[in-house]
Structure formats: C-alpha cells, structure tokens
Amino acid sequence: MKKHIIIAAMLMAAAGIQAGAQNKGGIDASMLQQISKGYEGTAADKAIRNALNTTAINTLSEAPATERLTATDFTHRVKTKGITDQKSSGRCWLFSGLNVLRARAIEKHDLGAFTFSQNYVFFYDQLEKANLFLQGIIDTKDLPFDDRKVDWLFQNPIGDGGQFTGVSNLVTKYGLVPSEIMPETFCSNSTSQMSQNIAKLLRQDGLKLRYANDELTAAASKLKGKKLDNAKAEAAAKLEAMKVDMLKEVYHVLALCLGVPPTEFVWNKKNYTPKSFYEEFVGEDLENNYIMVMNDPTREYGKVYEIDYDRHVYDGQNWLYVNLPIERIKEMAIASIKDNTAMYFSCDVGKFLNRKTGMADINNFDYESLLGVKFTMNKEERIKTHASGSSHAMTLIAVDLDENGQPKKWMVENSWGADSGYKGNIVMTDEWFNEYMFRLVLEKKYVPQDILKMLEQKPIMLPAWDPMFMAEE
C-alpha cells in the first residue's frame, strides 16, 4: 500500500514540475534528469561530500603556505607603533585614515604608542551624515517618491562605513583629540543598534520633510508674483528649521551613545582645542594635499571619476579619483613607503585571505579541486558581475622588493586587533595585490606630474548607487 502511495506521489511531483515549467526557460522533468547527472556519486564525490558535512569549505581547500609568505622580512617598512581595533563596527576607513596621520605624528613628535580618538571623529561623522541625508531630502523634495535618487537616500540614510574624504573633511572641520580625551564606548565599538535607531529616526524625519513640502507647495500654488516668491522663501526657511530640530534629536542620541565631544581639553599639561591639537600634531592640508587613485579595469584609465553623494559632509567633497593601471599605482606606493610614509589602502579583503595567519595569496585555497569546478573570471569580469569590490580599508606600510626592484609582497596594518592575522597585520603576495587591490590615497609629492595633470579634467560623475563604490567597512 505504502509503495503505491510513494509511486503516485512521485508521478504527481513529476507532473507538477512539467506543469509549472510550461513557460519556456523553466526546469522541466527532462531537464532536471539531465542536470542531476552533474553529480555522479563517485567514491571521490562521496568522500568530499562526507567531509563537507562537518567541515568548512575553506578548511578543506586550504593549501600549504607558500615559502614567500612565511618570511616576514621586508626591504622597506614604515615605522608604526601599536595595532588598533575597530571591534564590531564598520569604521575601517576612519581607523585607516587616522593611522596614516598617527604614523606621521608619532615620528615627528616621538609620541610612542599614541592614537587619535576615533570616537571623537565618529561622533561628527554621524552628525554630518544625518545632515547630508536630511539636506538631500530637501534638495530632492520636488522629485517623485519613486525617483531613483530619492529611493537611494531613504535606503541609505546613515551608516558607519566610508572612505578617505570623510577623514579629510571631518578632521579639517572639527580637528582631533587624543584617544584618552574621548575614549571608545560600547556603542562606538558595536555600532549596529545605534545606527539602526538613528536610521529609523532619519527615515521618519525624511517623510516629515516631504509631507511638509507637499503642504507648502499646495498652498503656494494659489499665489502669484511677489507673494509666490515670499511663500517659497518662507517654505525654505520652515524646512531648514525642521531640519535643525531633527538634528538636535540626532545629537541627543549620539551624545548618549558616544559621549559629548570636547571643545577644550588639557593634554600633557597644555591647553588645546580640537582644532589647535590638529594644527600642532598634523598641520597638513588634508583636503588638497592628497590624491586618491583607483584600479578599476571596467572603466577607462587616465580618467577622473566622481561619485555623487559619496561624501560624509554635505559641504565637503565627493569622492574623486584617478583610474590607473596597477603598475602606476605600485610605483607611487613604493616611493611613499621608501620615504617612511604610510597610505590609506582598500581592497577586497575577504578573498583568499587566511585569517589565522594573516596571509593573502591567490593560492591559499584550492576551491576548484575540492568542488570540481573552474573559476575563470578576471578582475574586470568579477567587478562587472558583483563578484568583487572594495570592502575594507587598511594602512599600507611595507613592501618587499626583489633584486630588480619589483615587489614580491606587501603588508598592511589592519584594525582588527593585535591578535588578528600576522601580529595585527595582513601580508599580501604581489599577485593578490594585482587582483584585489582597489584604492590608494597618496600625498601628491609622490605622484608624477602626468598623473597630477589628469586632475585638471572635468570629472565623470557616477551615480551614488554604482555598485563598485560601496562604503568600506
């Protein structure tokens, strides 16, 4: 009896597949039969399947360490002191940027294991991003709600990720303080719950601004001439006042979660403001002294690109970069390291990284042999298909050159704590660098004149939702 029931159920299931796949392009019973031959169930298949039942793919595919990465010596290395830890937050961009400035300050002022307060800059980062969103809602108030830009704004009201222009704009505007003056808090180390609540608050504020604009626009539509002009001015002032009240609430939440940022403080028996501390211990023109370069083979090299709304401060700078072949980027990176100058660096950190050893090598894992498939995409194809993109920022501090001056491996100072990777660092083969490095920020003195001249071009504007340009975390 049971046997007949099982057979009937199988026939009904097959009929269901056929009925549900009548539209061309679906999987019917015949196609499923062909597809199922992809797994042959050989002894090797069964052994791998048994292993994968209890063991991670990376563990089973891990290859022996290569000799060139077991060596830790580098021909050139920037002097740094102490590894930072961003904990459970997406602030890698901030840690990397401040670590670049920290290395210079330590060398110049003999500060020892010194750190700038990431929490202080992060407070203003979140406040400025809230204003960026609210002002963006005001700027797009007359666009339909389903407009792509309006939708993107509501989808991305605030976050803790970012990039180097956030560091340059925020530090220039608000200055810096030592970490002990405004130390980390639970919410700065673990940002998700704070960010979720602020995002929820901003989204409802964004709706309020649009609703208010609709009412004001409807009222003004009945007016003409000077009365209409006055009504528009009054409407703009009302929306601005609403925004200020909304930002007061954001400030309140930030102060509860992160603390109140100091306006004056005493450090090493000397009085400072955050701006005077920045001037003494950094003193650089961060907004004009640096250039961001990118290796994006999906777009034309030698061109300058700008990302709309990819900034932290409304009255600051959009992210702007020069797209270059990887060889040109390496030349400048080597020059900077040789001159003891660290750099903001970003990459697709999770690809072929052995997290236990901190070694990044395209030969770390043999996925093809384990899974019995081929992965053939190059860097350009991975970017086009969303398989790869810049995901994490670190600080580039070392290179190992061969006898011909060509790089063999590189090292970055990470912000995942001293116990992660190789003593808090990640070591990368040059081949891995080619495939998964994306952005580098350099002082202009290390940049050849032909590249600096490219900055004279009118930037090609890319939309904020371009998938290649998600914030680094």
Burial state string for 314-333 with b = 16 or more CB within 10 A and e = fewer than 16: bebbbbbbbbbebebbbbbb
Given this chain, do its domains 67-75+285-469 and 113-281 carry the same CATH topology? yes
Longest dimension (CA), the chain: 91
Average pLDDT, the chain: 92
For residue 338, give the 3-state DSSP assignment: helix
Most confident of the following: 7-11, 13-17, 405-409: 405-409
pLDDT at 1: 47
17 pLDDT more than 90:
no
| 327 φ/ψ angles, rounded to the nearest 5 degrees | -65, -40
- Total count of residues recorded for the chain: 473
CATH number listed for the domain at residues 67-75+285-469 = 3.90.70.10
Identify the helix (H) or strand (E) that includes residue 270.
strand 270-272
231 pLDDT more than 50:
yes
pLDDT at 225: 82
Integer-rounded Cα radius of gyration of the chain: 27
192 and 92 Cβ atoms separated by less than 8 Å: no
Identify the helix (H) or strand (E) that includes residue 359.
strand 359-360
376-420 pLDDT, tens digit each: 999 999 999 999 999 999 999 999 999 999 999 999 999 999 999
The residues annotated as belonging to the active site are 92, 392, 414
**Measured between alpha carbons, how far is 54 from 33 in angstroms, rounded to an integer?**
28
316-339 pLDDT, tens digit each: 989 899 999 999 999 999 999 999
Listed by start position, the domains of the chain span 67-75+285-469, 113-281
**Residue among 390, 434, 442, 438 nearest 408 (CA):** 434
305 and 299 Cβ atoms separated by less than 8 Å: yes
Say which CATH topology domain 113-281 has.
Answer: Cathepsin B; Chain A (3.90.70)
Task: Judge residue 379's burial from the number of C-beta atoms within 10 Å of its C-beta, 0-12 exposed, 13-18 middle, 19 or more buried.
Answer: buried
> Parallel, antiparallel, or unpaired for β 76-77 and 392-401?
antiparallel
Show the DSSP H helices in 306-448 as ranges: 326-338, 367-371, 379-384, 430-436
Tokens of 169: 């704009």
pLDDT at 21: 45
9 pLDDT more than 60:
no
> What confidence tier does 226 reach under pLDDT thresholds 50, 70, 90?
confident
**413: number of Cβ within 10 Å:** 27
- Listed in order, strand segments (DSSP E) in 373-459 are 392-401, 407-413, 425-429, 437-443
Mean pLDDT of 227-242: 91
| 322 φ/ψ angles, rounded to the nearest 5 degrees | -100, 125
Task: Name the pTM for this structure.
Answer: 0.91
pLDDT at 39: 94
**201: number of Cβ within 10 Å:** 17
pLDDT at 22: 54
